[in-house]
Structures are given as structure tokens and as C-alpha cells.
A and B are shown apart, each in its own frame.
Chain A
Amino acid sequence: GESVGLHLPTLSVQEGDNSIINCAYSNSASDYFIWYKQESGKGPQFIIDIRSNMDKRQGQRVTVLLNKTVKHLSLQIAATQPGDSAVYFCAEKLAGTASKLTFGTGTRLQVTL
């Protein structure tokens, strides 16, 4: 069935260190994955996405890695800053399901000074 799970509900990282947020998905028919950042009281904010025909994609300070063999997705944030503190969601889209995204429960990233 459709499910997107996250390994760690809370991740604490020191400012300046790199953060790695992991996500497992169960549906091999998913063809698109996306990471969102959600700050308290706000809607999810797009960070980066990746299609299933890729295994890595880089943005500004962020990298998404996709391992289809083990159905695993990760978000790497370089030089983590206090402004990165938020809940991070991964979401997947099944091929042929228009734009329906299936979200996991989220990982809270806490950046300590």
C-alpha cells in the first residue's frame, strides 16, 4: 500500500554541522519524490524534488538522494543554520495519480547553537 515513513521523529544538530533526514517509502510504483519544510504556523515550503529516474539532485545547501533498491530517500542540509529548524516532510507520488502526494509524519529538526 501507500506509505511514507521517517526513521527519526526528532533530529538535533549543532549549528554549522550537516544534517541528514531519512525517509523510507514502500511503493515501488512511485515516480516522484519531494521534500517540504514546515515552520510552526505555516504551510509546507518546497525544498527540492527528484524523479525516480535520478539518484541525486542538488540545490542550494541541500541534496536529495534516492535509493530505489532499498526504497530510501534522504535530505542532506549542509552547514545547518538556526533558520533550518522546522519539521521536514518527504512525500511521494504514484505514477499515474495526477498530483496526489502521500506524506509521511515528518521529522523535527532542532538546530542548537
Chain B
Amino acid sequence: ETGVTQSPTHLIKTRGQQVTLRCSSQSGHNTVSWYQQALGQGPQFIFQYYREEENGRGNFPPRFSGLQFPNYSSELNVNALELDDSALYLCASSPELGGETQYFGPGTRLLVL
């Protein structure tokens, strides 16, 4: 176990709805990254947060947004859900900015109908 927790574990939404996913980083880790993993694919980088600021973003539209809180926990928000947003959403924490080794949580499985 990495100490990274995510909630909820599973979620079902319909197209057009909004969703918020949550992540608690491993103790002492101040950097959180979010990834989307479609079925049968590798994880794709969404964005990273360090000290409550976005620090790098992948090729995802603005309807994917995030927050990091003073305790380093984080949220991923997705607006106007589309069917293709169905995926496993993974949160990973690392002990410092630029620390390459990332420790992943179990993920949230999102299904959009």
C-alpha cells in the first residue's frame, strides 16, 4: 500500500453532468498528479499540483480542472461529462516537486452513460 487514498472507488454519471474526485496524498508528499487511464491503455497525464498551484498540464480540455488544499489533498473536477471520459482516474503523489518517483492510489472508476 502506498498511503495514497482516493474516493469514491466507483461512480456512474450521465452525459453533461459534473463530477468531483478526491485524493489524499501520502504523508509528507506535497506534489499530486492526476492521470486518466482508459481500458487497456496506459495512464495519461492530466495535470500536477504543487503547493496549491497547477504545475504542468497534459493534453486535456479546460473542463478538466483541479484543486490542491493546504494539507496537500487534491480534487479533480470534470464538467460536461462525455462518454469518452469513462476511465480509471488515478492520483499519484511524490515527496517533492521534481521528484520523479510517483506513488499511485487505487483509482476511481468513472462510468459515463
Contact = CB atoms under 8 A, between A and B. Distances in A.
Interface of A: 4, 32, 34, 36, 41-46, 49, 89, 91, 93, 97-106
Which of A46, A98, A106 is most buried by chain B, counting CB atoms within 10 A of its CB? A98
Contacts of B62: none
Interface stretch (B14-22, B67-75, B100-108): B100-108
Interface of B: 2, 4, 31, 33, 35, 40-45, 48, 50, 55-56, 58, 90, 92, 94, 97-107
Contacts of A98: 48, 50, 55-56, 97-98
5 contacts: A32-B100, A43-B92, A49-B101, A105-B40, A106-B42
Contacts of A44: 43, 90, 104
B41 A99 contact: no
B102 A99 contact: yes
B43 to A, nearest CB: 5
A43 B105 contact: yes
Contacts of A103: 35, 42-44
Contacts of B50: 98
B45 A34 contact: no
A97 to B, nearest CB: 7
Given A43-B105, A98-B97, A101-B33, 7 more contacts: A91-B42, A97-B56, A98-B48, A99-B100, A100-B58, A101-B100, A103-B44
Nearest to A36: B104
B45 A100 contact: yes
Nearest to A92: B100
A14 B45 CA distance: 34
Contact of A99 (B2, B40, B99, B106): B99
Given A43-B106, A98-B98, A104 B56 contact: no
